[in-house]
């Protein structure tokens, strides 16, 4: 069965990376919750999509230049008086949930990987007892190399449409194999059965991201991808249930 990953805790249902969204996702009949991590200036691991607070909160500034207290003081847009949370707090929500974690390593505001950040996140997940339920992802191959050096947990390469267009699927596959990357994720609007066949034919797992509309979700299900991320987990569950019911007729 194609797996559903609630992207940032269901952005279009609950707001971007909100505690409410993560708590709601923990109780949903889906398989994964996707979230992003950044370090604060004083070494905290914070769950937030962007490298800065500017777009999704009432404050501004890069997370790496802000203290944990300053980040926590920011109010998330469209949330119900909610603030960014730490990785440990997110882990506490999922301790008793059947939903597994999908942790994405983002770059800093200049597009550069954070120095020595990957092992700290892995250590924190282990301390919280959830490392064995966590998979990792990144758009940056350097981050994926770092993950492989510090953990045996699964990870995937999120390939952006510009990179996919510039390199072509064959070169994407070659790079993945050269870096021992076991899984590739493409944007749902930039993939088809041919791309999937090339990737899986090379022995790699294949998934999609940004499947937010009913048509996009149904496309992912029709392709039979391993997993897709969605900002609308409730819709994804509904569409998957209907799709599976139709398939059994």
Q: Parse the chain into domains and list their residue ranges.
A: 3-248
Residue-by-residue DSSP string for 102-142: EEEE---TTS-PPTT-HHHHHHHHHHTT-GGGEEEEES-HH
Fold held by 3-248: TIM Barrel (3.20.20)
pLDDT computed for residue 148 by the predictor: 98
pLDDT computed for residue 78 by the predictor: 83
Q: Are β-strands 32-39 and 45-47 bridged in parallel, bridged antiparallel, or unpaired?
A: antiparallel
> Which residue has tokens 């120095």?
115
pLDDT per residue of the chain (249 residues) written in tens, 0 to 9: 999 999 999 999 999 999 999 999 999 999 999 999 999 999 999 999 999 999 999 999 999 999 999 999 999 998 678 999 999 999 999 999 999 999 999 999 999 999 999 999 999 999 999 999 999 999 999 999 999 999 999 999 999 999 999 999 999 999 999 999 999 999 999 999 999 999 999 999 999 999 999 999 999 999 999 999 999 999 999 999 999 999 988
What are the angstrom distances between the C-alpha of 193 and each of 100, 128, 190, 201, 206?
A: 27, 39, 11, 12, 11
Give the burial string for 128-143 (b: 16+ CB within 10 Å, else e). Answer: bebbebbbbbbbbbeb
SS3 assignment, position 74: coil
Cα gap 138→14, rounded to integer Å:
23
Residue 133, Ramachandran bin (φ over 0: left; ψ between -120 and 50: alpha; else beta): alpha
* CA angle centred on 242, ends 238 and 248, rounded to 5°: 145
Note whether 214 and 239 are within 8 A (CB): yes
pLDDT computed for residue 80 by the predictor: 78
pLDDT computed for residue 187 by the predictor: 98
Note whether 225 and 207 are within 8 A (CB): yes
Decide: pTM greater than 0.85.
yes
Backbone angles phi, psi at 45, to 5 degrees: -105, 110
E-assigned strands of 55-204?
A: 85-86, 100-105, 134-138, 155-159, 183-187
Cα gap 17→67, rounded to integer Å:
19
pLDDT computed for residue 79 by the predictor: 65
Residue 191 burial (C-beta neighbours within 10 Å; 0-12, 13-18, 19+): buried
* Residue count of the chain: 249
Name the nearest CA neighbour of 231 among 52, 58, 78.
78
Note whether 78 and 16 are within 8 A (CB): yes
């Amino acid at each position: 069965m194609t797996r559903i990953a609630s992207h940032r805790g269901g952005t279009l249902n609950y707001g971007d990376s909100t505690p409410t969204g993560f708590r709601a996702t923990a109780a949903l009949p889906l398989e994964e919750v996707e979230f992003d991590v950044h370090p604060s200036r004083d070494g905290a691991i914070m769950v937030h999509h962007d490298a800065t607070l500017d777009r999704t909160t009432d404050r501004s500034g890069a997370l790496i230049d802000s203290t944990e207290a300053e980040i926590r003081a920011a109010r998330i847009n469209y949330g119900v008086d909610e603030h960014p949370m730490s990785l440990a707090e997110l882990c506490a929500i999922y301790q008793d949930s059947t939903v597994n974690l999908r942790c994405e390593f983002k770059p800093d505001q200049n597009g550069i990987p954070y120095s020595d950040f990957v092992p700290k996140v892995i250590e924190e997940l282990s301390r919280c007892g959830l490392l064995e339920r966590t998979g990792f992802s990144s758009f940056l191959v350097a981050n994926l190399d770092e993950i492989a050096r510090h953990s045996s947990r699964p990870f995937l390469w999120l390939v952006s449409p510009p990179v996919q267009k510039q390199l072509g699927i064959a070169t994407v596959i070659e790079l993945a194999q050269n870096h021992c990357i076991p899984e590739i994720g493409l944007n749902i609007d930039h993939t088809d059965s041919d791309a999937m066949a090339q990737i899986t034919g090379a022995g790699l797992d294949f998934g999609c991201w940004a499947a937010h509309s009913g048509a996009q979700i149904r496309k992912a299900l029709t392709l039979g991808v391993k997993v897709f991320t969605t900002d609308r987990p409730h819709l994804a569950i509904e569409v998957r249930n209907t799709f599976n019911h139709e398939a059994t007729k």
